[in-house]
Chain A
Amino acid sequence: MKNPFGKIWMIAVYVFLYLPIVTLVIYSFNASPLVTIWSHASFRWYTALANDSDLISAVGLSLRIAFFSALISVFFGTFTAFALNRYKRFKGRTLLSSMSSTPLVMPDVIVGLSLLLMLVSVQHWLGFPERGLFTILLGHALLGTAYAAVVVTSRLREMDGRLDEAAMDLGCKPLQVFRLVTLPLLVPALVSAFLLTFTLSFDDVVLSSFLSGPGYSTLPMVIFSRARLGLNPTINAVAAVTILVVSMAVIASSIYQSRAERKRKLEVAQAYSDANH
């Protein structure tokens, strides 16, 4: 770029975006219990973290919820994306598409409040569900479905519809087309939808606070209640560990995605050259 102003502007924005993350990690190695005043380097807060049973059980709960809610989200999100993309005209299509985008546009406090009031009514009526893991899971699955539908939709749109047609011409039934042609092509999108919804669930504090019951605190809920009270060096250590895990996952998934893309292109090229011989 010739324009020095542009370079400076871009660097400034990146500094703004990464400054808090970097300081958080650096100060996690600070020995002083005063979070912001540097004394000397130590692993003190990591040891404290390893012995913090509240945090560790919260991590366990969050991981379980994130895993299952991501699975459910990808399942229903794929259905939603198919319904909206493969069937252009049906009664109530607008309703479905606006319902599927409400969790995206509504503030979390409204989604949380409305789900909780619904679950309370159901509990009045049927005697279950108790508030806890299941209700949090349901909330995260709703939010995740909306996001997963967006991810799968964008893949479905760029997919070559002729492949499905070819399979049908060759006598495949719709379900076979889905299993043999569409699904394998969708796998990268399903993986990224899974990762995205997993992260969303693992990060959520508002929905969980509304939907949780006594004894069920997710990791963000524990962090939030500590951060509300003030600065807490164990949070810095949690942050450093999270950032390490997340960046490794992001790097691994981008390598996987680019490999899958390359493999797919090679296969397509191979198929074309086979067809021409």
Chain B
Amino acid sequence: MTKIYSYLSEHINGRRLVIGVPYLWFIMLAAIPLLIVLKISLSEMEDTSVSSMINWAEGWPTLKLNFSSYLFLGTDPLYIETYLSSIKYALITTLICLFIGYPFAYFMARSPKHLQPMLLMLIMLPFWTSFLLRIYAWKTLLVSNGIINNMLMAIGIIDTPLPMMNTPFSLLVGMVYSYLPFMILPLYANLSKLDLRYLEAAADLGTSPFKAFWLITVPLSKAGIIAGSMLVFIPAVGEYVIPELLGGPDTLMIGRVLWDEFFSNNDWPMASAVAVVMILLILLPMAIFNKYQSEQAEAKA
């Protein structure tokens, strides 16, 4: 064993190895696949192999590009409507998560120190049990002969079942439910570090607690708000499973369109074009987020 170790440490450049291994791994599995998606989004339906894209006929390689999928995407109102509706649902989900999660994280950060690790673990615990099963559970609660309707009817609050399932309501319940921990965790991390002396100083100077909250706590937790919102908004835009199980046929989400183009219509160029546009939509908020984070890091340094 020791011989192998000494051989390895003498004959292999550690630095090159440590950098090279993950580099190869991610180039193969992350970078090249995304380039292939870009390429196939620019091809025709029958012609989706990589080699046929470069045309060597003229002696120089020339690229053969076909924008028909994008043209279709830009002119068919259904696609545009679906993108807009995905953004709308993701935005509403983010706002509701912020509305529920901010006070929660605030109170959690103020609760007794010895309780906080347990409160935190209780937030994380559902995350460890299957996401799919938890979404399915909402289905059993929300359908018209489901548990919530049965209970409300048994108590006598309603006579006929409320139509909750397969509506924007059930979709949003599922989305908020799944993404709420992603909002709470960064907010809690941020709010638990808040220096309480600022609030004491404000109180000494005669500021009401309500005003102090808006003037001090909220601005100081801006980084947490932005991080939480991004962690909710970005995956929510492309969500597939929740709208498929809870949203019913009428709630339009772009993840489902991509899935159907691929699995039902077998239209790979179209599915790829849908994916490329979705990536562009996600990159914009991410760029803003990254810029904000690096500014923060600079401000600290």
Contact of A224 among B111, B119, B132 (CB under 8 A): B132
Decide if B241 touches A205 in the complex (CB within 8 Å): yes
Is the pair B50, A9 in contact by a Cβ cutoff of 8 Å?
no
CB <8 Å contact, B255 and A114: no
Interfacial chain A residues near B237, Cβ < 8 Å: 107
B275 touches A24 (CB 8 A): no
Measured between alpha carbons, how far is A250 from B40 in the docked complex, in Å?
A: 43
Flag whether A118 is at the interface (Cβ < 8 A): yes
Residues of chain B at interface, number, CB under 8 A? 84
Chain B residue with Cβ nearest A118:
B33
**CB of B147, distance to nearest CB on chain A (Å):** 5
Task: Please state if B275 and A113 are interface contacts (CB–CB under 8 Å).
Answer: yes
A17 and B180 contact, Cβ closer than 8 Å, known pairs A227-B132, A231-B140:
yes
Query: In the complex, are the beta carbons of A174 and B240 less than 8 A apart?
Result: no
Binary A-proximity of B131-144 (CB < 8 A = 1, otherwise 0): 11111111111010
Q: Does B132 lie within 8 Å of A179, measured CB to CB?
A: no
Count: A-B pairs, CB below 8 Å: 229
Interface size grouping (class) on chain A:
35 or more
> Quick one: given A79-B21, A99-B26, A117-B36, are A20 and B241 in contact (CB under 8 Å)?
no
Does A90 count as interface, using CB distance less than 8 angstroms? yes
- Complex formed: what's the CA distance from A138 to B29 in Å? 8
* A6, closest chain B residue (CB): B107
Indicate whether A19 reaches chain B with its CB closer than 8 angstroms. yes
Cβ-based interface call for A247 (8 A): yes
B residues within 8 A CB of A149?
A: 22
Chain B 258-279, CB-CB to A under 8 Å as 1, else 0, gives 1100100000100110010011
| Known interface pairs A76-B25, A107-B278; A36-B146 also in contact (CB < 8 Å) | yes
What per-residue 1/0 map shows which CB atoms of B81-123 lie under 8 Å from chain A? 0000000000000000000100110111011100000010111
Check B245–A13 contact: CB distance below 8 A: no
Of residues 1 to 46 in B, which have CB atoms within 8 Å of A's CB atoms?
5-6, 8-9, 14-15, 18-19, 21-23, 25-27, 29-34, 36-37, 40
> In chain B between 50 and 95, which residues have their CB closer than 8 angstroms to a CB of chain A?
50
B150 at interface, CB cutoff 8 A? yes
Set B25, B125, B138, B240: member contacting A108, Cβ < 8 A: B240
What is the CA–CA distance of A205 and B177 in the complex, to the nearest angstrom? Answer: 18
Q: Given A76-B22, A108-B238 in contact, is the A21-B275 Cβ separation under 8 Å?
A: no
Out of B21, B129, B240, B282, which one reaches A206, CB within 8 Å?
A: B240
Is the beta-carbon distance between B27 and A239 smaller than 8 angstroms?
no
Complex-state Cα separation, A231 to B40, whole angstroms? 38
**Contacts A99-B26, A107-B238, A243-B129: A23 and B147 contacting too (C-beta < 8 A)?**
yes
Of A105, A223, A238, the most chain B CB neighbours within 10 A belong to A105
Q: Is the CB of B21 within 8 A of A21?
A: no
Chain B CB within 8 A of A92 CB: yes
**A220 x B132 contact (CB < 8 A):** yes
B10 CB to nearest chain A CB (Å): 8
Q: Chain A interface (Cβ within 8 Å of chain B)?
A: 1, 3, 6-7, 9-10, 13-14, 16-21, 23-24, 27, 34-37, 76, 79-80, 82-83, 86-87, 90, 92, 96, 99-100, 102-103, 105-110, 113-115, 117-118, 121, 124, 138, 141-142, 145, 149, 173-176, 179, 199, 202-203, 205-206, 210, 220, 223-224, 227-228, 231, 235-236, 238-239, 242-243, 246-247, 249-250, 254
Instruction: Return 18 A-B CB contacts under 8 Å, by A number.
Output: A9-B103, A13-B104, A13-B180, A16-B100, A23-B140, A36-B146, A83-B22, A87-B15, A96-B23, A107-B237, A109-B258, A117-B36, A203-B131, A223-B133, A227-B139, A239-B136, A239-B137, A246-B130
Contacts A121-B36, A228-B245 aside, 20 further interface pairs with beta carbons under 8 A come to A10-B107, A16-B177, A82-B18, A109-B255, A109-B275, A110-B275, A114-B34, A145-B25, A173-B6, A174-B9, A175-B14, A203-B131, A205-B241, A206-B241, A223-B132, A227-B245, A239-B137, A242-B133, A246-B128, A249-B128
